[in-house]
Every structure is written in C-alpha cells, then in structure tokens.
Amino acid sequence: MALRLRTAVLTLDRRGRPVHWPDALLVVDGGRLAEARPLARGRAPRGVLDRRGRLAIPGLVDAHCHLPQYPAVAADGGELLPWLKKNIFPLERRFRGEYARDLSRLFFTDLAAHGTTAAAVYLSVYAESAQTAFEEGERSGLRLVMGKVMMDRGSYDGDFARTHPRESRPHASLRESDQLCERWHGAADGRLRYAYTPRFALSCTEGLMRAAGAEAARRGAFVQTHLSENGAEVAAVRRAFPRAKSYADVYARAGLLGPRTLLAHGIWLSDAERRAVSGSGSTLVHCPTSNAFLESGVMDLPAARLAGCRLALGSDVAAGPSLDLFEAMRQSVFAQRLAKAHGLFKTPPQATPLKAFALATSGGARALDLPAGAGTLTAGAPADFVLLDPAAYDRFGPAADAETALARLVYRGSAAAVRATFVAGRRVWGRL
Ligand SMILES: [Zn+2]
C-alpha cells in the first residue's frame, strides 16, 4: 500500500537546483516516489500521514568507508602509513567469526541512524567475513557496494614489502573475490553490488591489480581503491612502481580506471592525473574529515572540478572520526574556505553548502550508479530518504528560501536530527 506523507522537503532537483517546500506531499509506492510536490494553500488529500514538523531530505551517500575499522574511530595520532600499522591492521586481522557479524550489524545500523542510505564499504582480506558482512548488509536494507580487500604484498603485520599469508597466492585473492562477486553482485533487488577492492597500490602487485580490473570490467562490478592520500604514501608508490608516470598511472596501466571506479582522496594529484581520472569516468571520493584527522592535506576541489572529475563524499571511517556525513559536508566547506584564504590552489575554491550537499546526494548516487533520480526527492526517484527533526539544529523557524534552509542544514545539522531512514520505500531505521 502506498505511503502518503505530509512533510517539509529539502532536496536538489534533477538539474542540481535547490528546492525547499515547507509543506509538501511525498507518495511512496513500489519503492519509488510516485509523487513529490508542494501542497498549495495547506490543502492535503485524504489518507495522508501528517508529519508537518519533519523535514525530508534525500538519503545521504557515503562513497568511502571501512567496516572492520569502525572500532578505531578517534584513535588519534600519526599519519597514514604508521596509523595503518598501529591502529588499523590489528583490527582488520580480528575481523572474523561472530565478532565480524556483530560489528557488521552495528556498522549498518549506525549508517542508517546517520541518515546514510547507500555506501561503498571496504571489508578485510577474509572472504568468510566478507560473506558475513554481505549477509548482514542484505538484512540492513541499505544500498551497499562492498568488497573483500585485496592485498598481495602489504601485509597485516605492517610490512608493506611482505606478503599477507592469506593473499600470498594472488590467484586465491582473485578467486575469492570472483566468488563473492558471483554471489552478491546485484543481489537483494540490486541493492547489493560488488567492488573489487585492491586496498591501494602499495598493497598490491601489478599482476593482481590488472587481474582485478579485468574481472571487474567483465562482470560489470565496481572497483574501489585509494589514490594519492598522503605525501609519504605517494613517494613510496613512486619507488614501488618506477615504470609508472604517476600514482594515477599505476591504476591506469592496470586497467583499474573506469566509470564504476571509486578513488578515495586524490589530494596530491597533478593536472595530468586529474585528466586521466576524468577521462576514465572514475569518481574521486572527497573525505575531508579523514584528510584533516591524518594530516593528509586539503583536496584541490576546484582543480578536480575544472578537469571534469566526478566527485562524491566519504566519511572514510575510521580515519574519519564518525559516520556523520553532515559533519563531512561541513568540514568540506570549512577546509576549502581556509584553502582559499591561504591561497593554496591555483583556482580559488567557491565552497558552498549547496556544493557540499550535492556531493553527499546526487554526486554519491552517480558514483554508485544508483537508480535514476537517486539523490533527489523527485517523482520517479527511488524512495531513499531521511526524515529529520529540524528543531534539533534550527532554532529560528522556517527558512526564507532553499539556500538558507541548506545552509542551516549543512552548518548546523547532524545525525542527532535524524528520526527515520527509508530505502526503496522501506523504513530501515527509526520511527515514522
Ligand atoms: Zn580509506
């Protein structure tokens, strides 16, 4: 039966323009929005559930996060490579059995509680716990792109020159990924998809990356990896791949770049690298909270936009301290404004709440190739939305226009305002 909901609505339209309807009707039918329109003169049709105190926004898309790392959030200190060794690899090694199941449940519940309806998620090297995570992901009702981490030379003992025993035969790593892809890519009415997940260049041989790229392309699956996050990492990649022209070229040579490829960070890129990323249709996933936390740097968003790169937003938990994409949107605006004040980039950033919101909604939806209209609340779009209590962050009554409503949401909003989360018309968290 259709759900007819009377609520305020804040969204982008399909051309990216902000829309704010203080009094609106959403009709949810068959997993989609059959109607999304303002109500004229306060007149609502019969059979409507009155939630006028709420604000509906499109479900947020977290295009980069790591499930097994969740308990390490806020483990302070250190840049990327030492932080991985000290805080992360020991945790990923523990990601087995019932512990992996419990952590997966917690992680997906928290994603939904933060207003996130779709996410691209890294697991660990273990195929069994990847299977467990997919089972729990199916139960969660969320839209998830996930993959077993592939690393046939960066070992969980923290030695990037050594091979992880589990991954010592690249063929085993690939076969396990293929089997998981076979089982889960397109499962749960297409809500679950598989991503071949070579951790990053330092963790992989060229052979493994090449094979992963070829299999992903053959199966129409995603690829997710990290690109140019930290200065020491970039230098190490240069040493490890002397024949490649650049970090991005390592992935280009391996055939990993394409429209279903998600590249986290992209901070220390040259213009040529940005052009290669853009030309391939790959998405750069901007992770501002993580980039500040690990002292990685500030992503040159204007250069990425000028090069025509697709862009999305990620929490990068656990380097990002929370799953809260409201925080990530806000930090993105702040970091870009500081970069502008310090003259860091050739083209000064024009950071706005609207741009940050677009990254977290329509940008993410495109990166994850979600159904048409996803990331907006428009007729025909999938019914992926969040009901907020705007009183949790807005003390001053109805906003005068859409820009003001968006600015209040981005600068003052947080997961504390989330009351209910819907994916494909089904309530996956909270109360209506
Ligand atoms: Zn990451």
DSSP string, 17-42: -EEEEEEEEEEEETTEEEEEEEPGGG
How far, in Å, is the centroid of ligand 1 from the Cα of 225?
8
Looking at the chain, the domain(s) classified CATH 2.30.40.10 span 3-58+375-430
Are 31 and 76 contacting, i.e. CB atoms less than 8 angstroms apart? no
The C-alpha R_g of the chain, in whole angstroms, comes to: 21
SS3 assignment, position 175: helix
How far, in Å, is the centroid of ligand 1 from the Cα of 292?
13
Q: Given CATH 2.30.40.10, say whether it is the number of domain 3-58+375-430.
A: yes
Query: What are 5-32's pLDDT values in tens digits?
Result: 999 999 999 999 999 999 999 999 999 9
Share of the chain above pLDDT 70, in %: 96
How far, in Å, is the centroid of ligand 1 from the Cα of 28?
35
User: How far is 49 from 5, CA to CA, in rounded Å?
Assistant: 5
* Selection from 12, 10, 20 nearest residue 355 by Cα: 12
pTM beyond cutoff 0.75: yes
SS3 assignment, position 229: coil
User: How far is 408 from 295, CA to CA, in rounded Å?
Assistant: 28
The pLDDT of residue 100: 98
Looking at the chain, the domain(s) classified CATH 3.20.20.140 span 60-367
Which amino acid, one-letter code, is at 177? S
How far, in Å, is the centroid of ligand 1 from the Cα of 43?
48
Residue 395 CB contacts under 8 Å (≥ 6 apart), including other chains? none
Q: Worst-scoring range by mean pLDDT, 136-140, 165-169, 183-187, 323-327? A: 165-169
Read off the pLDDT band of 158 (50, 70, 90): low
Residue 272: how many other CB atoms lie within 10 Å: 13
User: How far is 89 from 84, CA to CA, in rounded Å?
Assistant: 6
User: How far is 257 from 242, CA to CA, in rounded Å?
Assistant: 19
> What integer best gives the mean pLDDT of the chain?
95
Read off the pLDDT band of 155 (50, 70, 90): low
Are 378 and 11 contacting, i.e. CB atoms less than 8 angstroms apart? yes
How far, in Å, is the centroid of ligand 1 from the Cα of 150?
13
Partnered with residue 358 across adjacent β-strands are none
How far, in Å, is the centroid of ligand 1 from the Cα of 378?
32
Partnered with residue 22 across adjacent β-strands are none
User: How far is 385 from 403, CA to CA, in rounded Å?
Assistant: 20
How far, in Å, is the centroid of ligand 1 from the Cα of 264?
6
Query: What are 389-401's pLDDT values in tens digits?
Result: 999 999 888 888 9
How far, in Å, is the centroid of ligand 1 from the Cα of 69?
10
Read off the pLDDT band of 412 (50, 70, 90): very high
Query: What are 230-278's pLDDT values in tens digits?
Result: 999 999 999 999 999 999 999 999 999 999 999 999 999 999 999 999 9
How far, in Å, is the centroid of ligand 1 from the Cα of 316?
5
User: How far is 205 from 245, CA to CA, in rounded Å?
Assistant: 17
How far, in Å, is the centroid of ligand 1 from the Cα of 40?
46
Read off the pLDDT band of 43 (50, 70, 90): confident
How far, in Å, is the centroid of ligand 1 from the Cα of 421?
25
User: How far is 238 from 246, CA to CA, in rounded Å?
Assistant: 7
The pLDDT of residue 120: 98
Domain 60-367 class in CATH: alpha beta
The pLDDT of residue 166: 63
How far, in Å, is the centroid of ligand 1 from the Cα of 65?
6
Backbone angles phi, psi at 367, to 5 degrees: -60, -40
Has residue 352 got a pLDDT over 90?
A: yes
Query: What are 109-126's pLDDT values in tens digits?
Result: 999 999 999 999 999 999
Location of structure tokens 């997710």: 224
Share of the chain above pLDDT 90, in %: 89
